[in-house]
Amino acid sequence: MASPEKITFHEPRTLTHYGKKYFNVEYKGANYRVRLFPFQETQPEPKEIHCLVSVDEAKKVHIVQDLQPYLEESYSSGCDYEFVVRRAYADKHYYEVEDRYGLYFRLNTDRVLLERQVVTCRVENIRDGRLKLELLSGTSPSEDSASPFNEQTLAAALIHELGDLRPTAWDVDELARLVIANNAYSERMAGKWVRKVLRQLTSKPDLASDIDLCDDYAQMERVLREIRDAIRNVLESTTVLNDCGEQRGIFQERLTTLTEQCSFYHSAVEYIAVGRHIKVIDSLFSHLEISHYVYHAAEKLEVMMCIFNLLPDLMEQRMGKFFDIVTSAEEHYWKTDTFRRAFIRLLDFYISELYDEVANTTDVKRPDFCNVFKALAIQLLLADPARDADLYDAQLSYARLYRMAACFSTGSPDYLLRRSVLSLSDAMAISAASCFSWDQVNQLSLIASRLSEQVTEEDLPDYNKNYLTDRIRLIADSSGLSVAPLRCESKQAVLPPAIMLWDRLQFFTEKKLNWPNAALKSLPEAHRLWNELERELESRHSTIEQLRQVRRKERPERGDE
């Protein structure tokens, strides 16, 4: 593909398609859809937009907006601006930061930052639609106010402050990683950390006697009290929070969340130990069915989730009834913040527990397959990706829904599997509400059909997503997925059309490789060819093992790196 041509389109029209806004532009007598930048969603139609126009090997035209002119208009090299940390990769020494226009950039620093923290950065240069940023300080005027903690120093501080109060059952290093982690990960993993601690204490149910199980529950209650009291002691009776500087609020929130999770599990263990857990779930279901309301719904649903985790067989028995209750009511009953967020957490927990089991089957009549597919559909209808990103992974949920839909006879496997891959890269994100409605969530075959029919290639706007390392570029666009060296003058296609994958994955190299024109016949042959391809893609002067070691330290930046 040749270098893209820069073109300015005047007076573009804005249209809405499948719930999303696009610019409509005319190029050489044909109309094309162009995606909006986030800041353009709420602005009046612009008088002009700057675009990059390229033509692929199949002579198909691709048009995407050029970010460079907007950055040059909004930023100046050498000047300082505020950004918000949106995603933290402290172990990789970089962060994703967001500007006031909703655009994301990469910030390289050895300092420990947390999500939602406001930071001041200096723009060193503006090039190729990216800002090179230098971290100056956080929100506090004093440079010393930044948190001194990383995973190791926070773990050491917790051990020092707790002393003999530290529970022996928990892993302090893992707890510190959880508190330091990016926001979405921390929110999802708080309960999983508590569950992991408890699972280390329990006997195997199929081998344990009733006495052993009673002992397990008694030990769980004791350990949960110890952990809850220890974390509360850190929050209320030590100087750890005061030492957090500008990150105090975030550390406080995350440690409080862990304390609450311990309380929820403690309640669940108490109910199970005295045999009241069935009555608790029956009462909750009864209220949901009669009035579609539960007092303190978030807390009660959390306790039910804890019971289900401790008794997974019970979860499989009762979730069918839960789906019947939820889908028989009006959708807007569950759209309030309390129910929406609680349901999303419960559904995400249920999906994560069962998905690996159903991912290896194509039997759409299996009850667990149907329930997971239905859970994904309900979750995507209820969720708002912008507001609920801390509760679930929208891209992963869409990818799973598309993959499972491919198993139905009413679905189009090639089409749906391709959409599954593109959903993971966020190259195509379409609202579930535009595919199927609330009154159709029990008609699984119909959902698979609607997912297959919702978009044709001609209806899609052009997109172009790039992911870079120091040596390789991966491109996801309308023509498929391609991998090539970062600096590649003459791109030679490696895979013959006869053996290309359904998602049209292609590799390009500088020189023509001696690749067979038919399917590979043996593993040694495949291993040899892959090593040759890998060596040609990354570097002709490094060994494969050296390159693998480098790749382990790298993490491609999300978005349009």
Of 13-27, 306-320, 505-519, where does mean pLDDT reach its minimum? 505-519
Kindly state whether residues 296 and 418 are assigned to the same domain. Answer: yes
**The pLDDT of residue 158 is above 80:** no
Within a 13 Å sphere around the CA of 196, how many CA atoms are in the beta-carbon half? Answer: 12
Looking at residue 110, which CATH number applies to its domain? 2.40.50.140
**pLDDT score for 237:** 83
**pLDDT score for 192:** 75
Report which residue type is found at 468: L
**pLDDT score for 69:** 92
Residue 540: band (very low, low, confident or very high) from pLDDT cuts 50, 70, 90: very low
Task: For residue 559, tell me if it sits in a domain.
Answer: no
Structure confidence by residue, pLDDT tens digits, 164-184? 666 666 667 777 767 766 555
Classify 204 as helix, strand or coil: coil
**pLDDT score for 256:** 85
Kindly state whether residues 45 and 186 are assigned to the same domain. Answer: no
Task: For residue 199, tell me if it sits in a domain.
Answer: yes
Domain count of the fold of the chain? 5
Give the phi and the psi of residue 42 in degrees, each rounded to 5.
-110, 5
What burial letters (b/e) apply to 50-59, b meaning 16+ CB within 10 Å?
bbbbbeeeee
DSSP H/E element including 26: strand 20-27
CB atoms within 10 A of CB 126: 17
- Nearest CA to 470 among 542, 421, 419? 542
Task: For residue 474, tell me if it sits in a domain.
Answer: yes
Question: CB–CB of 411/448 below 8 Å?
Answer: yes
Out of 191-195, 223-227, 289-293, 479-483, give the one with best mean pLDDT: 289-293
Report which residue type is found at 470: D
**The pLDDT of residue 501 is above 60:** no
Pairing of strands 30-35, 80-89: unpaired
For residues 55 and 477, give the distance between their C-alpha atoms in angstroms, rounded to a whole number. 12
Last residue of a domain, one of 402, 424, 459: 459
- Helix, strand, coil share of the chain (percent; to 5): 50, 20, 30
**pLDDT score for 286:** 94
DSSP H/E element including 13: strand 13-17
Give me 488's structure tokens.
């590649």
Mean pLDDT confidence for 205-220:
58
Task: For residue 376, tell me if it sits in a domain.
Answer: yes
Kindly state whether residues 137 and 222 are assigned to the same domain. Answer: no
Of 72-81, 102-111, 327-336, 524-533, where does mean pLDDT reach its minimum? 524-533
Kindly state whether residues 294 and 423 are assigned to the same domain. Answer: yes
Is the CA virtual torsion 26, 27, 33, 39 positive or negative?
A: negative
**pLDDT score for 517:** 60
Kindly state whether residues 330 and 455 are assigned to the same domain. Answer: yes
Report which residue type is found at 254: R
First-to-last C-alpha distance (Å) of the chain = 18
Last residue of a domain, one of 435, 459, 483: 459
Mean pLDDT confidence for 465-471:
63
Question: CB–CB of 504/479 below 8 Å?
Answer: yes
For residues 212 and 219, give the distance between their C-alpha atoms in angstroms, rounded to a whole number. 10
**pLDDT score for 271:** 93
Structure confidence by residue, pLDDT tens digits, 230-241? 888 888 888 777
Average pLDDT, the chain: 78
**pLDDT score for 546:** 41
Q: What is the DSSP string of 419-479?
A: HHHHHHTTSS---GGGT--GGGTT-HHHHHHHHHHS--GGGSPB-EEEEE-SSEEEEEETT
**pLDDT score for 148:** 54
Residue 138: which domain range? 71-145
Classify 113 as helix, strand or coil: coil
**pLDDT score for 545:** 42
- Higher pLDDT pick, 378 / 469: 378
Report which residue type is found at 426: D
Residue 57: band (very low, low, confident or very high) from pLDDT cuts 50, 70, 90: confident
**The pLDDT of residue 464 is above 70:** no
Mean pLDDT confidence for 530-544:
63
- Higher pLDDT pick, 390 / 557: 390
Give the phi and the psi of residue 142 in degrees, each rounded to 5.
-95, 130
Kindly state whether residues 77 and 160 are assigned to the same domain. Answer: no
**pLDDT score for 104:** 86
Task: For residue 341, tell me if it sits in a domain.
Answer: yes
Give me 257's structure tokens.
């969340």
Looking at residue 61, which CATH number applies to its domain? 2.40.50
Last residue of a domain, one of 102, 128, 145: 145
- Higher pLDDT pick, 418 / 51: 51
Task: For residue 561, tell me if it sits in a domain.
Answer: no
Helix 183-199 crosses helix 297-310 at what angle (to 10 degrees)? 50
- Nearest CA to 194 among 170, 163, 221, 160? 170
- Higher pLDDT pick, 165 / 448: 448
Kindly state whether residues 407 and 442 are assigned to the same domain. Answer: yes
**pLDDT score for 429:** 52
% of the chain at pLDDT higher than 70: 73
**pLDDT score for 369:** 93
Of 231-235, 284-288, 463-467, where does mean pLDDT reach its minimum? 463-467
Kindly state whether residues 328 and 218 are assigned to the same domain. Answer: no
Give the phi and the psi of residue 250 in degrees, each rounded to 5.
-70, -45
Structure confidence by residue, pLDDT tens digits, 399-447? 899 999 999 999 888 888 877 877 765 545 556 567 888 999 999 999 9
Kindly state whether residues 441 and 301 are assigned to the same domain. Answer: yes
Kindly state whether residues 450 and 528 are assigned to the same domain. Answer: no
What Cα–Cα distance (Å) separates residue 528 from each residue in 511, 512, 520? 17, 15, 11
**pLDDT score for 446:** 93
**pLDDT score for 493:** 76
Mean pLDDT confidence for 450-468:
61
Kindly state whether residues 185 and 116 are assigned to the same domain. Answer: no
Helices (H), 238-336: 248-273, 277-291, 297-310, 312-328
**pLDDT score for 395:** 79
DSSP H/E element including 124: strand 118-127
Mean pLDDT confidence for 77-106:
83
Kindly state whether residues 170 and 261 are assigned to the same domain. Answer: yes
Task: For residue 293, tell me if it sits in a domain.
Answer: yes
**The pLDDT of residue 195 is above 50:** yes
Task: For residue 560, tell me if it sits in a domain.
Answer: no
Structure confidence by residue, pLDDT tens digits, 287-297? 999 999 888 88
Residues 6 or more apart whose Cβ sits within 8 Å of residue 243: 147, 148, 149, 157
**The pLDDT of residue 285 is above 90:** yes
